[in-house]
């Protein structure tokens, strides 16, 4: 992955907050910017059910005074929802707009937020846990892995988290996904099936996978919240033009009115993977 720095710097000078990301392996190289969808992201993507967080607590992680660094935090979903368990959180994201929403949503919480790509974070402090939720594949791991090794305590853990709908097992999800592909045919976030989180080979040098689990989980939605969740995905809100987004949303709302009840569950799967330093 590489960042379109020139576009970001030129826009920043005029008071904007645009950071386009371009990766030939994601969406066929179509640029996307999470900052474009931050308001919808903050409203509609805080959807992980209690079971998702219980899997973390069952591992004894992100709790009881542990120092935790959350990479690619977005709107701070993980540190905000796990704050009550007593960990000390630092959270970073490359999007200024995402961090702005995170700060608004956690204004009464003592969470340290940073605007920075994961690859540029280099703390001297040792962390008990470093987390990455819904974002691990975006990173340049050849750069990041040695930094994670240095920033973790000797017995620290890297905790990777993921949740996705299952379009081949859920008819509403399938129909919504097809509509995303109509407007963004090269979107590579489609066609998910249950699978283990992929760990790049470079981690084998320093780390070992000590635990992983994949599990099906039902997530409740209304037509409004499911429309918002889909709109806030990379394939729509983060990458299309305002005109395209409006056209997609109009068609998606009509689709849901015709095919979905007022309230429904969408079948997802959750995945968790824990890495620890090799002894």
Show me where the domains of the chain are located. 2-162+191-218+270-277
CA distance 231 to 236: 6
Determine the average pLDDT of the residues in 10-25.
Answer: 62
15 pLDDT exceeds 90?
Answer: no
pLDDT of residue 92: 98
Query: The pTM is what?
Result: 0.93
Per residue in 170-221, pLDDT (tens digit) is 999 999 999 999 999 999 999 999 999 999 999 999 999 999 999 999 999 9
pLDDT band at residue 125 under the 50/70/90 scheme: confident
Query: Please, which residues bridge with residue 268 across strands?
Result: 165, 217
Q: Which fold has domain 2-162+191-218+270-277?
A: Rossmann fold (3.40.50)
């Amino acid at each position: 992955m590489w960042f379109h720095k020139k576009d970001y710097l030129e826009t920043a000078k005029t008071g904007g907050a645009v950071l386009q990301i371009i990766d030939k392996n994601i969406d066929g190289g179509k640029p996307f910017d999470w900052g474009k969808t931050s308001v919808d992201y903050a409203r509609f993507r805080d959807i992980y059910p209690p079971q998702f967080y219980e899997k973390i607590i069952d591992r004894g992680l992100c709790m009881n005074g542990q120092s935790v660094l959350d990479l690619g935090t977005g709107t701070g979903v993980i540190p905000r929802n796990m704050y009550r368990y007593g960990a000390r959180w630092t959270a970073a994201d490359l999007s200024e707009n995402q961090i702005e929403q995170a700060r608004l949503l956690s204004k009464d919480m003592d969470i340290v937020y940073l605007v920075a790509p994961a690859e540029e974070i280099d703390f001297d402090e040792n962390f008990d846990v470093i987390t990455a939720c819904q974002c691990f594949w975006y990173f340049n791991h050849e750069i990041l892995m040695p930094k994670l090794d240095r920033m973790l305590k000797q017995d620290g853990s890297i905790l990777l988290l993921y949740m996705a709908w299952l379009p081949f097992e859920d008819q509403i999800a399938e129909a919504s996904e097809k509509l995303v592909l109509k407007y963004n045919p090269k979107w590579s976030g489609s066609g998910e099936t249950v699978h283990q989180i992929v760990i790049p080979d470079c981690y084998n040098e320093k780390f070992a996978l000590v635990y992983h689990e994949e599990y099906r989980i039902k997530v409740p939605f209304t037509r409004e919240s499911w429309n918002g969740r889909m709109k806030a995905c990379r394939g729509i809100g983060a990458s299309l033009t305002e005109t395209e987004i409006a056209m997609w949303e109009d068609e998606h709302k009509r689709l849901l009115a015709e095919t979905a009840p007022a309230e429904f569950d969408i079948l997802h799967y959750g995945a968790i993977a824990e890495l620890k330093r090799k002894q």
